[in-house]
Amino acid sequence: MAITKLFFRKENKIADIVLDVVIEESASASARMTSNPVEKGADINDHIIVDPMTFTMSGLVTDAVSNAVDGIQGLADTGVYTGQTSPSRDKWNDLLKLHAERESFTLEQGLRNYENVVLLSLSESQNKDTSKALFFTATFQVLNIVGQSAVVSQQFNSSDVAAMAEPDVLVGLKRLL
C-alpha cells in the first residue's frame, strides 16, 4: 500500500501499478489544421484534426518500510528492504513489463482518469543519494481506437442509374444519388 494512502484517499496508479508519490504530472491536448495550397500560393485550411492526448508523469517509489501503513507495526529497524527484491526494483520491472506489453490501460491522474492509454517512453535515474528509491519519468498517449462497421450496399442495377440520368424537360438533368 502506498504511503500517500495514509493522507490522501486516492492512490497514485499507472494501470495496476501503485506508486508512492507522483512528483509531477501533466496533460496536453493539441490539434492541427490541414493546409492545402491553391492558386497564387494561398493555403486553404478547412479541417481541424484533434491529436490524441499526451501525458507526462514523474514519480517515486521508495524502499522505506512502513508497517504502519499496513496497520501492523512502526518502521522496521533498518527502514529499507534488503535482499534481491525491493519495492523500487519490483515497480521498475512492472513498468518495463507494461511498456513491453504494448497494451492499453487506464491512467489515473489528479484531475481525471483516462481510458485506452499506452506507455510510450520510460526513464529512470539514480545517484548516490537516491539508490534506495525509484525516480522515473513516463510519457503516455491516448490510443484512438476506431470501430469497425459493415456497410451493406444495395444490388447495383444499371437501369436505375440510366433512369436517374434521363433529362427532365422542365428541370434539366437529374442528379445522380
pLDDT tens-digit map of 98-122: 999 999 998 888 788 889 999 999 9
Residue 176 vs residues 53, 64, 152: alpha-carbon distances, Å: 41, 74, 19
Angstrom distance (rounded) from CA 161 to CA 124? 65
For the cut 70, the answer to whether the pLDDT of residue 91 exceeds it is: yes
Cell of 96: 518495463
**Most confidently predicted of 35-49, 143-157, 163-177:** 35-49
**137 or 146, which is more confident:** 137
In this prediction the pTM is 0.64
CB within 8 Å of 37: residues ≥ 6 apart: 43, 44
Write down the pLDDT at residue 52: 92
102: left (phi over 0), alpha (psi -120 to 50) or beta: left
Write down the pLDDT at residue 73: 37
The mean pLDDT value for 1-5 works out to 49
DSSP string for residues in 22-48: EEEEEEE--EEE--EE-GGG-EE---E
- Hey, what's the torsion of the CAs at 97, 89, 122, 126, to 10 degrees? -160
Distance of alpha carbon 104 from the chain centroid? 7
Write down the pLDDT at residue 62: 87
Question: In the chain, where are the structural domains located?
Answer: 3-142
Per CATH, domain 3-142 is 2.40.30.200? yes
- Residues 46-83 have pLDDT tens digits of 889 899 999 999 998 888 765 444 433 333 444 454 45
